[in-house]
Amino acid sequence: MAVAICTDNERANEDIKLFSQALSDDDGMISERLCTLSKILKDMGY
């Protein structure tokens, strides 16, 4: 898998900070959803 960074975005640093803040603000909800997804996948045999 290749990963690239868009260097044309002048607001990349701001975007990264906003994304990080959103993850931080919603970490409880995200964790709960990932646990639920994990349980569903285990129940399905994956």
Q: Residue 1 — very low, low, confident or very high, per pLDDT cuts 50/70/90? A: confident
Q: Is residue 15 part of a domain?
A: yes
Q: Structure pTM?
A: 0.54
Q: Is residue 38 part of a domain?
A: yes
Q: Is residue 5 part of a domain?
A: no
Query: In the predicted model, is pLDDT for residue 7 greater than 90?
Result: no
Q: Whole domain around residue 38: which residue ranges?
A: 10-44
Q: Is residue 1 part of a domain?
A: no
Q: Is residue 2 part of a domain?
A: no
Determine if residue 45 is left, alpha or beta; phi over 0 gives left, psi from -120 to 50 gives alpha, anything else beta: left
Q: Is residue 4 part of a domain?
A: no
Into how many domains does the chain fold? 1
Look at the alpha carbons of 2, 24, 40, 45 in this order and tell me if their dihedral is positive or negative. Answer: positive
